[in-house]
């Protein structure tokens, strides 16, 4: 039976890895998506959608489908999925690796305010400005729902889930965005402060450049730590190396 790699996906890196693996003769690749995006882009190899039922459910799936290696290429803030993947890999003895793009680092001129959670970001906002751009995803607006005196512009690929702040304007848009795009957005909506998660990568970094050029403060939510003992690689090449595969 050909080697079978399960990718816990949804990120750009997951798609790239799936394409690389599918190009290897004899390698079977399955990408699992959580199903939170209604129109995911095309993926190489096999695709499954939906949860597994925790670490135990994932371990059972790994055994049933004879998976030989597991790659967690989920979003850096998908902490529960990463924890479940680590436990499932340990329970089954299947080799596992976490594929995480490097986080952002502030540079000269950046006015970053690092925090550990969305709740901490909400506590900080009233001291930084009244008009806020949220780029934290559609599921995080509840942390700001009590801030009735602030105006929020929430950008998301999918409609956000309530509750949300009463004075919220929702912008449905899918990146990547250019620095010019982001500068226009910040200026058109007269944004005072931006809130974002440290997702890392170049695809969503233009907003940080735009904020720096405009002198705006940015509240940056730090990533949750990965479970201890988990192997982390920064890119697709690193994942292929850990799997013992070269690029075809």
Q: Alpha-carbon Rg of the chain, whole angstroms?
A: 19
In this structure, of 1-5, 11-15, 31-35, 186-190, the range with the lowest mean pLDDT score is: 1-5
Return the percentage of the chain with pLDDT > 70, whole number.
Answer: 96
Cβ-based burial of 247 (10 A; exposed 0-12, middle 13-18, buried ≥19)? exposed
In this predicted model, which residue has the larger pLDDT, 236 or 10?
236
* Helix axes 206-214 and 179-188, enclosed angle (nearest 10): 50
Q: Which residues of 78-106 are buried (b: 16+ CB within 10 A; e: fewer)?
A: beebbbbbbbbbeebebbbbbbbbeebee
Binned at pLDDT 50, 70 and 90, residue 209 comes out as: very high
Average pLDDT, rounded, for the chain: 93
Read off the pLDDT of each residue in 123-143 and give the average, rounded to a whole number: 94
**pLDDT beyond 80 at 224:** yes
Q: Mention every residue, 6+ apart, whose C-beta is less than 8 A from residue 82.
A: 72, 74, 98, 226, 227, 230
Q: How far apart are CA 20 and CA 36, in angstroms?
A: 24
**Measuring CA to CA, which residue among 155, 158, 161, 176 is closest to residue 38?**
158
Q: What is the pLDDT of residues 148-202, one digit of tens each?
A: 999 999 999 889 888 999 999 999 998 889 999 999 999 999 999 999 999 998 8
pLDDT at 174: 86
Separation CA 147–CA 167 (nearest Å):
9
- Number of residues assigned to the chain: 248
pLDDT exceeds 90 at position 19: yes
How does pLDDT run across 65-79, given as a tens digit for each residue?
999 999 999 999 999
Q: For 78-88, what is each residue's pLDDT tens digit?
A: 999 999 999 99
The pLDDT of residue 2: 62
pTM for this predicted structure:
0.87
Helix (H, G, I), strand (E, B) or coil at 160: coil
pLDDT more than 90, % of the chain? 83
Ramachandran quadrant class, 215 (left: phi over 0; alpha: psi -120 to 50; beta: rest): left
Quote the pLDDT of residue 161: 84
Q: Which residues are within 8 A (CB) of 148 and not within 5 positions of it... i.e. 6 or more apart?
A: 165, 166, 167
- Tell me: pLDDT of 39 over 80: no
Closest of 198, 193, 200, 201 to residue 220, by C-alpha: 198
pLDDT at 204: 85
Which pLDDT belongs to residue 201? 87
245 has a pLDDT exceeding 90: no
Phi, psi of 113 (to 5 degrees): -125, 95
**Residue 39: Cβ-neighbour burial (10 angstroms; 0-12, 13-18, 19+):** exposed
Instruction: Annotate 176-222 with DSSP letters as a single string.
Output: ---HHHHHHHHHHTT-SEEEEE---SSTT-HHHHHHHHHT-EEEEEP
pLDDT digits (tens, 9 = 90+) for 95-132: 999 999 999 999 999 999 999 999 999 999 999 999 99
DSSP code, position 112: E
pLDDT interval class at 42 (50, 70, 90): confident
Inter-residue contact 135 to 207 (CB < 8 Å): yes
């Amino acid at each position: 039976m050909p080697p079978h790699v399960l990718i816990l996906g949804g990120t750009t890196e997951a798609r790239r890895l799936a394409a690389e693996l599918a190009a290897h003769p004899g390698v079977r690749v399955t990408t699992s998506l959580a199903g939170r995006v209604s129109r995911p882009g095309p993926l190489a190899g096999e695709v499954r959608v939906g949860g597994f039922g925790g670490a135990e459910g994932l371990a059972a799936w790994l055994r049933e489908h004879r998976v030989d290696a597991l790659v967690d290429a989920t979003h850096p803030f998908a902490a529960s999925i990463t924890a479940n993947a680590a436990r499932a890999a340990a329970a089954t003895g299947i080799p596992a690796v976490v594929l995480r793009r490097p986080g952002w680092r502030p540079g000269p001129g950046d006015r970053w305010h690092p925090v550990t959670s969305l709740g901490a970001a909400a506590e900080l906002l009233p001291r930084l400005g009244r008009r806020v751009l949220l780029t934290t995803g559609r599921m995080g607006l509840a942390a700001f729902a009590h801030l009735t005196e602030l105006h929020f512009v929430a950008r998301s690929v999918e409609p956000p889930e309530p509750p949300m702040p009463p004075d919220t304007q929702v912008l449905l848009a899918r990146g990547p965005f250019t620095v010019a795009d982001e500068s226009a957005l910040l200026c058109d909506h007269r944004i005072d402060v931006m809130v974002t998660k440290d997702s890392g990568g170049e695809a969503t970094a233009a907003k940080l450049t735009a904020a720096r050029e405009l002198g705006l403060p940015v509240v940056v939510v730090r990533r949750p730590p990965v479970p201890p003992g988990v192997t982390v690689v920064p890119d697709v090449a690193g994942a292929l190396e850990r799997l013992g595969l070269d690029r075809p």
